[in-house]
Structure 1
Amino acid sequence: MSFYLSLDDVPDLARGAAILGTGGGGDPLIGRLLVEECLKNGKKIEILDPTEIDDDDFVIATAMMGAPTVVVEKVPAGSEAVRSLRALEKHLGKTADATIPMECGGLNSMIPLVVAAEAGIPVVDGDGMGRAFPELQMETFGVYGVSGSPLAVSDENGHTCIVDTGQDNQRMETFARAVTIKMGGAAYIAEYPMSGADVKRTAIRNTVTLALNIGRTLRKAKDKHLDPLAELSAFLKDTIYGHGTVLMRGKIVDVERFVRDGFTQGFATVESFDGGHEMRIQFRNENVIAHKNGAVVAIVPDLITIVDVDLGTPITSEALRFGQRVAVYGISTPAIMRTPEALQVFGPQAFGLHEPWVALEELSAAR
């Protein structure tokens, strides 16, 4: 069912979105502050259930694009993505009836909320990634036939660019990435213009509500002095994700991080508290693979999130530091992200990984 977001909802939503962001998607705190400012100023944000949109409604996805580490230094004003929305509307000669998140993780779960508040349109409760991914073609919208372009890109200086590569979503990503780099490494986009019928067919449904409920679960566990990750695993059993598990607890002993080609990339190494196990996690904005003692324990598109071991609060890629006490937590992906056509777009080979995808629940059972 549709609902209006309250000010009290925002911290929970940001927390849950950071879990689903798998280390990427941008710092959710920045997005949280932007959304809270909108609500404090009396603006309304309606979260619209996908079943309640009309088939002929016009929906545009909005998001941040670029390296999350750059956003920490180049904080958005909040108007950039709205400018992209308006530029794309003008280019297409159509006005959006709603916006939808490109991804449900990190800052990019928040940007569409700001757009909705400023533009006076609802946010569809769903997204195109079910987590965060680093590239624009890695969306279920595109996997199931929606063209990502034309796309509008805007920066904080008021510059806007239209990218149109027809049906070639991979080339759209390449061109938009080049523009984003020229805009300083972080920009704001409007993309995947589509009908309400397309949304119903291609979106991962109700992931905004999912993120909100994940955040609530973690907060309530902390308030009741319960194990937050055990509570999260219990909650996920009744969702389309189905399976969540702790992969290892320990201390971060090494972080290698750099920005290359518009992405925050690198590795984090975690040593178990007893010193008997080592986990190496590779990230490209998001965490994409985890090896424990040399064996794969989780691999993209399944979710790998690093959280504070005591609080269950997620830690983004740009915030990883030597000495942090963490738990590495895995979440399985929903069925719409496991099809052969989906894995072709955002399976392991799309990240240059040579290991095959094996479902998290299978890897967990084999441990």
Structure 2
Amino acid sequence: MTTVVRAQDLEALVVGVTLLGSGGGGDTGAFGRMLRRRLGAGELVLRDAADLPGVSVSPIGVVGATSVLMEKLPSGGEFETAVRAVSRWTGADVTALMSLEAGGLNGLTALIAALDLGLPVVDADLMGRALPRLDQFSWAVAGRSLTPCALSEPSGQVIVVDNVDAAGLERAVRSFVAQTGGWAVLALAPTPIEAAAVDAVEGSLTRALALGQAHAALEPGTAPAAVADGLGGRLLGSGRVEEVARHVIADGGAAFGRGSLCVVDSASRAVIRIETENEYLLALVDGTPVVTTPDLLCVLDHRTLQPIAVDGVRAGDEVVVLALPGPTWWRRPDRLLHVAPEAFGLACPPQLLEAS
């Protein structure tokens, strides 16, 4: 099956990748506007891997501090620079692109890059949602190397990284972006599509579009339970955010924001506590864990039903809290341990929604 994305679909796609971000993944609004300008009156076709036999696909996206990225958006040249660099290093042409992650702004970057480079887009990614670390790419979890790869940044600097594991690549990325303005484009090595798809999350961008379309069908004022049903999820509660706590932790030289928020449900007076890092990770209701990563926790503005990011939620907000099923790729036990709460230092076994 192929999915066609036209200008009238972009608002829904932006909301969908934001929902897959589970409160993280960066500000999708600016990239949605970039994509609209690139697409114009044209269209993008999201292609199934099976429909592109023989192509060599490069997963591509933005890494680094998304807050800095909003101050200096990509020109578009960074995508071509990274793709050309990894192609030269490997001696293989890149003939298709896919997203590094479907959640947040990286759900859109591969589409922008594909329009800029005139390449087809594979409807797949390496996370199925937003996650914060490179070792949480599905390729890395499956034991595949993420190198060689190329990094390019706005001033034109480009580096190729090879022969390091995921942790080594994470360190290289941190070092590079720290010296070059806070963000860079990452392009992984061109890989035959048949091999690339084996350990990828397929259909992720089509899912994002479908989520966004379901969201667009909700009328303002829709009852919270109907909102959850409309999006195919589970309502955890709705009410006022009573408390937001944030702090910074250091891990191997990198700083991560940690925090929590508490919502008091208007109907039951139950306390919904959500633990956060870059994304919403764990929800407890009256102290009992009910939903955890890799399922998707979403906090929506009660009035507009727009998703609220982890760093955007404030005490006093009236919100709807719901959970959506995460990618089925992560449900296998050997994969789940890489994205369960323990992977983020939270002493809680995974609590997943029933598989549909």
TM-score (norm 2): 0.90
- Asked if 1:251 corresponds to 2:240, the answer is yes
Structure 1 unaligned spans of 5+: 237-243, 363-367
State the Cα deviation string for residues 173-217 of structure 1 (Å, max 9, x = none): 232233223333332211254221123311211111111111111
Bigger shift: residues 20-29 or 154-163: 154-163
Q: CA RMSD in A?
A: 2.4
Letter in 1 for 2:234: T
In 2, the alpha carbon distance for the partners of 1:14 and 1:258 equals 29
Question: Could you list the runs of 5+ residues in structure 2 that have no partner in the other structure?
Answer: none
For residues 100 and 309 of structure 2, the distance between their equivalents in structure 1, rounded to whole angstroms, comes to 18
- What is the 5 A alignment of 1:99-178? 99-166=97-164, 168-178=165-175
Kept after mapping to 1: 8 A contact 2:87/2:190: no
Deviates more, 1:7-16 or 1:287-296: 287-296
* Cα deviation digits, residues 214-267 of structure 1 (max 9, x gap): 1111112228x644763553553xxxxxxx211121222333345662544432
Q: Is the Cα–Cα contact under 8 Å of residues 218 and 232 in structure 1 kept in the other structure? A: no
Shift of the alpha carbon at 1:96? Answer: 1.0
Equivalent position of 1:45 in the other structure: 44
CA distance in 2, matches of 1:361, 1:207: 19
Q: 1:171 is paired with a residue of what secondary structure?
A: helix
Which stretch shifts more, 19-28 or 265-274? 265-274
Alignment of 1:5-16 (within 5 A): 5-16=5-16
Letter in 2 for 1:300: T
Structure 2 distance, partners of 1:299, 1:114, is 31
Instruction: Give the secondary structure class of the aligned counterpart of 2:219.
Output: helix
Kindly indicate whether the alpha-carbon contact (under 8 Å) linking 1:283 and 1:317 is maintained by their aligned counterparts in 2: yes
Change (3 A) 1:120 1:257: farther
Q: In structure 1, which of residues 53, 59, 62 is the aligned counterpart of residue 60 of structure 2?
A: 62
Question: Compared with structure 1, are the counterparts of its residues 245 and 304 closer, same or farther at alpha carbon in structure 2 (3 Å cutoff)?
Answer: same
Over 3 Å counting, the alpha-carbon distance change for 1:2 and 1:171 in structure 2 is same
For residues 246 and 177 of structure 2, the distance between their equivalents in structure 1, rounded to whole angstroms, comes to: 20
For 2:204, the equivalent position in structure 1 comes to 207
TM-score (norm 1): 0.87
Change (3 A) 1:267 1:193: farther
Q: Which residue of 2 aligns with 1:240?
A: none
Q: Residue 198 of structure 1: which of 195, 198, 218 is its match?
A: 195
One-letter code of the match for 1:361? E
